[in-house]
Amino acid sequence: MKDIANLVGMYMKTTAKSWFQYRVDTVLKSLAVFLRESTEIIVIYFTLLKFKELNGWDIYEMLFLYSLIFLTYGIMIIFFTGLRDFGSTVRSGSFDRFLLRPRGELFQIIFVNSDWFAAVGHGSLGVVLFLVSAGRVGISWTPALALYYIFSIAGGVLIQGAVFLFLASLNFFLLETGSLKELLYYNMRRFAGYPISIFHRFIQFLMIYVMPFAFVNYFPAQYFLRKSDINAFPEIFMHITPAVGAVMYLFAYLFWRYSLRFYKSSGN
Amino acid sequence: MKKRNPLSPYFAYAKKCFLNRSAYRFDHLMNILSTCLQIFIFWEIYRALYGNKTQVDGITITMLTTNFVLSAGLGAVFCPDDYFLPGKIWDGSISTELLRPISFKGRMIAENAGNALFNLIFRFAPICIIAAVFIGLCPPAGLLHALCFLVSAFLGWGVLWAISFAVQMTAFWLINIWSILTIKNVFVRVLSGSMIPLWFMPDWMHKIIAFTPFSSIYFTPVQIYLGQLSFEEIALRCTIQLVWIIFIYAIGDILWKKGQKKLVVQGG
């Protein structure tokens, strides 16, 4: 156990060193990610400045809804950067190196590399949005609620981690999954910032059952806000985000174990 | 000796780019799908925002859709290659590029023009047709307005290209300009009206936007298309576009001349 902790410490140190090699560039990069992700927030701000509310959601409730996306992504990318970039790892053949080392493949992928720009950029935006909105949406925070909030975040992290793990496993069969990820994950994420009740039934179906972003932010946010548009969905959905995360991750992990057997090196 | 057309090498570059693009069909299809999805999201959001109202400030939902479709469509046509110069500075090939007996800037324009022509036929057209069939578009206000729209859209391309050109020139000093380009794109997306229709911006934002070139990119052509401007105003707006092109290009050109003296070639 202790030597695993040591190893993780070492990995973190080397990652930090390589990312902070060019200091000015690092600061600029984090700022650029922060601004790029703020674009959607700025758009929502100006839109609601004009229209006051979107299907009963005011600006702070919208920001609270959005904060969950950024917080979960910020935490998720600390662990799963290796899975996001897994396609190139397989194609360049450097996955062979992981196989030769005396530790689990997934363990190495998770801890060897972290995209700190994305983590800081998304994470800090999530924290800012949370601080701005959490006191103004009528939640009376109790320890129990705070605990459920933490579990929801963990669930959201696991859901997205499971999707990344699943897509990474597909790399063993397909080699190139970039555009699939673009379509399934990043495109769907654009919907996720809004209450899904405003969208077409087909999109709602995708957001709940195919790429379950609704469990990352809409349903957990509804647990705290209880806006009336939740009535269109089964009540249980508000309570099961942590379970959805755990189950999805378990299945993704089993699929990963299964797919590993089909790995053929692209090297020679 | 046979006299050669001095422009023929540039046409060759444009043609090469056009043909290059035809090779990646799947990628291309995904791009169109992604743009259509984006338009669809905006449409759904604004339908929810409008509720029962047929218009807000004299803007109907079809006019909004037209704004989004034309902005996204033109955006898909223009897309200047932000990494043209930085890429050549990174890998050092800039040194051989500068030795060629043709203008580097001319080649930059030619390659982008080839791309733009490809995008006009294979992206702009399908996007407009899909949008017109599924969600409905306004027709142009008149034949003369349609012609003015084409002129203004061409100038809009010029403005966006000039901005990209000028920003790319900072690569001579900073080498890695991913962050600056990303921040530039945030400004373009928010202030050009492609994500939030400029009609709905508050007054204080209009004052800021008036001092920037961004509304000249998509919003001026869109307003002309919808017939919101008289012909005197059209002449004025097109002149403003032209002035921005000249002004920004001039800044870029100064940087270009200084940058070449400063050029540090890595390796090679």
Contact check, Cβ <8 Å, B186/A200: no
Flag whether pLDDT at B224 surpasses 90: yes
- When pLDDT is cut at 50, 70 and 90, the band that residue B225 belongs to is very high
Q: How many domains does chain A have?
A: 1
Instruction: Give bridge partners of residue B59 from the DSSP assignment.
Output: B56
Residue A116 lies in a domain: yes
Supply the DSSP string of A98-152, one letter for each residue.
Answer: HHHSSS-HHHHHHHH---HHHHHHHHHHHHHHHHHHHTTTT----HHHHHHHHHH
- When pLDDT is cut at 50, 70 and 90, the band that residue B220 belongs to is very high
Contact check, Cβ <8 Å, B185/A38: no
Phi, psi angle pair for A92, to nearest 5°: -80, -10
Instruction: Give bridge partners of residue A57 from the DSSP assignment.
Output: A54
Contact check, Cβ <8 Å, B178/A29: yes
Give me the residue spans of the domains in chain B: 8-261
Contact check, Cβ <8 Å, B200/A191: no
* Percent with pLDDT over 70 in chain B: 97
**For the ranges A54-58, A86-90, B154-158, which has the lowest average pLDDT?**
A86-90
Nearest CA in chain B to A31: B179
Of A28, A43, A183, the CB nearest to B195: A43
The token pair at A247 is: 């189950």
Helix (H, G, I), strand (E, B) or coil at B78: helix
Flag whether pLDDT at A161 surpasses 70: yes
Q: In the predicted model, what is the mean pLDDT of residues B16-33?
A: 79
Using a CB–CB cutoff of 8 Å, tell me whether A175 touches chain B. no
Q: In the predicted model, what is the mean pLDDT of residues B206-235?
A: 94
Write out chain A residues lying below 8 Å of B176, CB-based: 22, 25
Amino acid at B211: F
Write out chain A residues lying below 8 Å of B37, CB-based: 187, 190
Neighbours of A230 (CB within 10 A): 19
Write out chain B residues lying below 8 Å of A46, CB-based: 196, 200-202, 205
- When pLDDT is cut at 50, 70 and 90, the band that residue A143 belongs to is very high
Instruction: Give bridge partners of residue A159 from the DSSP assignment.
Output: none
- When pLDDT is cut at 50, 70 and 90, the band that residue B267 belongs to is low
Contact check, Cβ <8 Å, B195/A187: no
Q: How far is CA A107 from CA A11, A261, B194, in A?
A: 11, 17, 43
User: Could you give the CA distance from residue B192 to residue B184 in angstroms, rounded to a whole number?
Assistant: 12
Cβ burial, residue A30 (10 Å; 0-12/13-18/19+): buried
User: A154, A71 in Cβ contact below 8 A?
Assistant: no
Q: In the predicted model, what is the mean pLDDT of residues B8-30?
A: 80
- When pLDDT is cut at 50, 70 and 90, the band that residue A38 belongs to is very high
Nearest CA in chain A to B187: A39
Contact check, Cβ <8 Å, A191/B45: no
Flag whether pLDDT at B268 surpasses 50: no
Of A29, A35, A199, the CB nearest to B186: A35
Nearest CA in chain A to B193: A43
Flag whether pLDDT at B2 surpasses 80: no
Using a CB–CB cutoff of 8 Å, tell me whether A35 touches chain B. yes
Neighbours of B145 (CB within 10 A): 21
Write out chain B residues lying below 8 Å of A182, CB-based: 30, 34
**For the ranges A167-176, A245-254, B179-188, which has the lowest average pLDDT?**
A167-176
Of B44, B179, B201, the CB nearest to A29: B179
Using a CB–CB cutoff of 8 Å, tell me whether A26 touches chain B. no
Write out chain B residues lying below 8 Å of A49, CB-based: 202
Neighbours of A187 (CB within 10 A): 17
Give the gap in angstroms from C-alpha B54 to the nearest C-alpha of chain A.
Answer: 14
Using a CB–CB cutoff of 8 Å, tell me whether A24 touches chain B. no
pTM of the model: 0.86
Q: In the predicted model, what is the mean pLDDT of residues B230-241?
A: 95
- When pLDDT is cut at 50, 70 and 90, the band that residue A256 belongs to is very high
pLDDT of residue B97: 83
pLDDT of residue A222: 94
Flag whether pLDDT at A46 surpasses 70: yes
Using a CB–CB cutoff of 8 Å, tell me whether A38 touches chain B. yes
Give the gap in angstroms from C-alpha A30 to the nearest C-alpha of chain B.
Answer: 8
pLDDT of residue B3: 67
Residue A67 lies in a domain: yes
Flag whether pLDDT at A225 surpasses 60: yes
Supply the DSSP string of B15-72, one letter for each residue.
Answer: HHHHHHHTT-HHHHHHHHHHHHHHHHHHHHHHHHHHTT-SEETTEEHHHHHHHHHHHH
- When pLDDT is cut at 50, 70 and 90, the band that residue B266 belongs to is low
Quote the ipTM score.
Answer: 0.84
Q: In the predicted model, what is the mean pLDDT of residues A166-171?
A: 89
Flag whether pLDDT at A268 surpasses 70: no
Considering only CA atoms, which of B123, B112, B136 is closest in space to residue B30? Answer: B123
User: B244, B213 in Cβ contact below 8 A?
Assistant: yes
Nearest CA in chain A to B29: A179
**For the ranges A61-65, A159-163, B85-89, which has the lowest average pLDDT?**
B85-89
User: Could you give the CA distance from residue B107 to residue B89 in angstroms, rounded to a whole number?
Assistant: 16
pLDDT in tens, A113-131: 778 778 888 999 999 999 9
pLDDT of residue A9: 84
pLDDT in tens, B65-102: 999 999 999 998 998 889 888 888 888 888 888 888 88
pLDDT in tens, B111-123: 899 989 999 998 9
Contact check, Cβ <8 Å, B202/A50: yes
Considering only CA atoms, which of A238, A249, A215 is closest in space to residue A68? Answer: A215
Write out chain A residues lying below 8 Å of B41, CB-based: 190-191, 194
Instruction: Give bridge partners of residue B56 from the DSSP assignment.
Output: B59
Average pLDDT, chain A: 88
Flag whether pLDDT at A204 surpasses 80: yes
Considering only CA atoms, which of B174, B154, B264, B163 is closest in space to residue B218? Answer: B154
pLDDT of residue B38: 86
- Residue A248 sits in which domain range? 2-260
The token pair at B258 is: 């200084």
pLDDT of residue A175: 65
Q: Which residues contact A219 (CB under 8 A, 6 or more apart)?
A: A233, A237, A238, A240, A241
Write out chain B residues lying below 8 Å of A35, CB-based: 182-183, 186
Please, which residues 177-206 of chain A have a Cβ atom closer than 8 Å to chain B?
179, 182-183, 187, 190-191, 194, 198-200, 203
- Secondary structure, 3-state, B161-172: HHHHHHHHCCHH
Give the gap in angstroms from C-alpha A62 to the nearest C-alpha of chain B.
Answer: 13
Nearest CA in chain A to B175: A25
Best B177, B186, B200, B208 member to test A by mutation, with max A CBs in 10 Å, is B186
Residue A266 lies in a domain: no
pLDDT of residue B92: 81
**For the ranges A32-36, B20-24, B227-231, B256-260, which has the lowest average pLDDT?**
B20-24
User: A177, A260 in Cβ contact below 8 A?
Assistant: no
